[in-house]
Amino acid sequence: MSTSQAADRGEWRRTHTCGELRGSDVGQAVRLNGWVDKRRDHGGIYFVDVRDRYGLCQVVIDEKQTGEVKLGPEDVVGVWGQVVARGEDNCNTNIETGEIEVLAERIEVLSRSKVPPFEVIDNLDTAIETRLRYRFVDLRRGPLQRNLAHRSAFIHALRCAFMDEGFLEIETPILNRATPEGARDYLVPSRVHPGEFYALPQSPQIFKQILMISGYDRYFQVARCFRDEDLRADRQPEFTQLDMEMSFVLEEDVFEIWERALVRTFRETMAVDLPESFPRMRWIEAMDRFGSDKPDTRFGMELVALNEWALAGEFSVFRDSVEGGGRVMGIVVKGGAEKISRGQMKPLEKKAREAGARGLAWWKPGLSGGGAGPLARWCEGAHGEELLKIMGALEGDLLLFCADSRQVTWRVLGELRLSLARQLDLIPSGRWDFLWVTHFPMFERDEAAGRWTSSHHPFTAPEDWDLGGDPAQLDSRAYDLVLNGWELGSGSVRIHRSDVQQKVFELLGIGPEEQRQKFGFFLDALAHGAPPHAGFAVGLDRLVALTVGLDNIRDVIPFPKTTSAADLMCQAPSSVPEAQLEEVHIQLRPEARSPQEPPSGADS
RNA sequence: GGGGAUGUAGCUCAAUUGGUUAGAGUGCCGGCCUGUCACGCCGGAGGUUGCGGGUUCAAGUCCCGUCAUCCUCGCCA
């Protein structure tokens, strides 16, 4: 065996991948390349599994043939040899190439590997920290390779779907102008404009609207977006959207395009048949039935309104809540009387309080009235019977209640519903419950700042173009796509009239001067022939994660960042030499200065 | 910014009330083995117990601080 002779001569072409040889290839002379996986040395006979992203192939080494062979884990090798049948007794049905093996004539090590920090195996329980630090090893593992291959196929199918619908794929700038509102921007200092900064796009929103104004009536893009906000399992500081926009359309047109694209993509990449059309639900209905604007509709346990019943009863907490403009709602946990013990009520109550409730009223109805729980004494006789009827509950169920403002009631019961469903394993698997949520409110009140904010974004069209009446009551033409309780994406019919856009800015407390300064170009564009238009963007990381059964988006992203937005492999972010800062006219504040040493990454 | 969890060998974990030389599995290295495929057998190396400080005769263990990772609330138009 010689090291890198082949490399010196450039003879590293392979005839086959490690995953493709079959019984029908027996007798062929082949050349394989790959990484050394498992080795099984029996003295006179030496088995080596050689791996690439297509699979695994057993190579048999007889050192009388090949000379001495010393292979370490993850060495990159080239193997010349002959495909031979394993014989019935020696077949390995666990791998695709299990009928054959390659009898090595020559082995060359193209590249030696250090012992890897963890094994390249499918079922790995190594800490994510180590995996991210050595992501180049982690990415060799089957699950990651399958996830990224699926992601590639999935995005390809979506891209084809939009191309076939006549959409143009158009790129928009990464270096943008910082805009007020929305998430915190990632900033990039300008060298040629001292003291000025670009912002990375939170989304291509304004550019895609301008593309509509410019007549590109069907646009899409696989767009990277950046938001400098704190991370979650389903949130990375940079993420990918399939972003699109269309002119001369209504909501339904956008929905139908996406339904066709997703049906096709699920069929082509997963052999899953989605329904031709997804249900639509108004925002207010989602909130009243599920306590969430991204309801998981795979299971029931819906919220039940109990105002009338509460007013007919004697329980003053409930009565006062309703009379004070609040509401009383409840949920039924089927069979919950037995499944949720008194001791298990404590964590539920804690959860309710965390969601804003002042307490948690509950009732386990008894056979002949009464039963258990703080509410039992208020549910005796006909009043209790009435409650069971309204809620569709029976003896043996657990009934949970919340009396508060409608926002708190939604939130408390919405969270209890989800938490109980997970705890009691009520969520069926294998379901793809897509849902369009429509008619979001136009504005939300920011009490702390004493102003209105857009609940979607400030370019969203109102239901009423005159924007009359109480801003709190205005519906917008924004919509979300929800899958299994995850918000996959959002969009809206946009404002195409500069007068309406200015009115919305004013309602949001952005005065004429600020409008001119920050959005002048956009208002100008709107005043130069803007077609009515609407659009949507889907978070591909989330969608792809869901389709491979993950609740964390990290493993569908090749190089994800940690919850503190660090890249553990490259150790980004890092400090930079003073000279580089000078070029971009930046002087660090004292508390931001790091020691002279280059950053170690572990202590910044 | 707040809350919670975790941090011991390359990896995954254990270590009694604070008490002897910090152990196991796995991986790695060496030896043996001609049909293994989670190969087997024998042997070996491998530790700043995240970091800093404190309490104590004695700290992996207790206290304070700090860093990192994960989950989460706020935040994410």
| Tokens (6 digits) for A341 | 């013990």
- Tell me the C-alpha distance between A592 and A38, whole Å: 48
CATH number where A92 lies? 2.40.50.140
Instruction: Write down the ipTM of this complex.
Output: 0.95
CATH assignment of the domain containing A358: 3.30.1360.30
Domain boundary among A368, A402, A423: A423
Q: What is the pLDDT of residue A450?
A: 84
What confidence score (pLDDT) does residue A451 get?
87
- A443 and A415 within one domain: no
What digits encode the pLDDT tens for the residues A224-256?
A: 999 999 999 999 999 999 999 999 999 999 999
The CATH code of the domain that includes A234 is 3.30.930.10
Same domain, A324 and A303: yes
Residues 255-294 of A with CB under 7 A from strand B: none
Is residue A73's beta carbon less than 7 angstroms from any atom in nucleic acid strand B? yes
Within A134-250, residue ranges assigned H as helices are 135-138, 142-164, 205-213
- Residue A218 identity: R
Q: Which residues pair with A454 in a beta bridge?
A: A443
Nucleotides of B strand lying within 7 Å of any protein CB atom? 1, 10-13, 26-30, 32-40, 67-77
What domain count does chain A have?
3
Could you tell me if residue A594 is inside a domain? no
Q: Determine, yes or no, domain membership for A293.
A: no
A441 with A418, same domain: the answer is: no
The HSE-up count of residue A596 (CA atoms within 13 Å, CB side) is 0
What is the three-class DSSP state of A161? helix
DSSP H or E stretch at residue A418? helix A406-423
A351 beta carbon < 7 A from strand B? no
What tokens does A335 get? 């069979």
Tell me the residue range of the domain where A310 lies: 299-423
Q: For residue range A346-367, list pLDDT tens digits in order.
A: 889 888 988 999 889 999 998 6
Whole-angstrom Cα distance, residue A383 to residue A381? Answer: 6
Residue A261 pLDDT: 98
Q: Is A341 left (phi over 0), alpha (psi -120 to 50) or beta?
A: beta
d(CA A19, CA A344) in angstroms, rounded, equals 51
pLDDT of residue A9: 63
What burial letters (b/e) apply to A100-111, b meaning 16+ CB within 10 Å?
bbbbbebbbbbe
Residues A523 and A546 in one domain: yes
Contacts of A565 (CB under 8 A, 6+ apart): A228, A231, A237, A573
d(CA A385, CA A371): 12
Compute the residue count for chain A.
Answer: 604
- Which residue, A378, A394, A423, sits at the end of a domain? A423
Calpha distance A83→A57 (Å, rounded): 10
DSSP state of A140: T
Contact, A94 CB vs strand B, < 7 Å? yes
Q: What is the pTM of this model?
A: 0.94
Residues (pLDDT < 70) of chain A are 1-10, 367-369, 594-604
Quote the CA–CA distance of A569 and A554 in Å, as a whole number: 14
Residue that terminates a domain, selected from A404, A423, A442? A423
Residue A31 forms beta bridges with which residues? A80
Strands A451-454 and A478-483: unpaired
> Which of A204, A186, A273 lies closest to A242, judged by CA?
A204
Chain A residues 105 to 134 with C-beta below 7 Å from nucleic strand B: 115, 117-119, 124-130, 132
Rg (CA), chain A: 30
Q: Which amino acid is at A552?
A: N
Can you tell me the distance from the alpha carbon of A298 to that of A485, in angstroms, rounded to the nearest whole number? 8
How far is A9 from A438, CA to CA, in rounded Å?
63
Helices and strands in chain A: count of H runs, count of E runs: 18, 22
- Domain assignment present for residue A85? The answer is yes
Nearest-angstrom CA–CA distance, A238 and A223? 10
Q: Which of residues 423-462 of A touch strand B (CB under 7 A)?
A: 453-458
Which residues touch A387 (CB under 8 Å, ≥6 apart)? A306, A309, A363, A379, A393, A399
**DSSP label at residue A596:** S
Q: Which nucleotide minimizes the distance between its C1' and the CA of A132?
A: B69
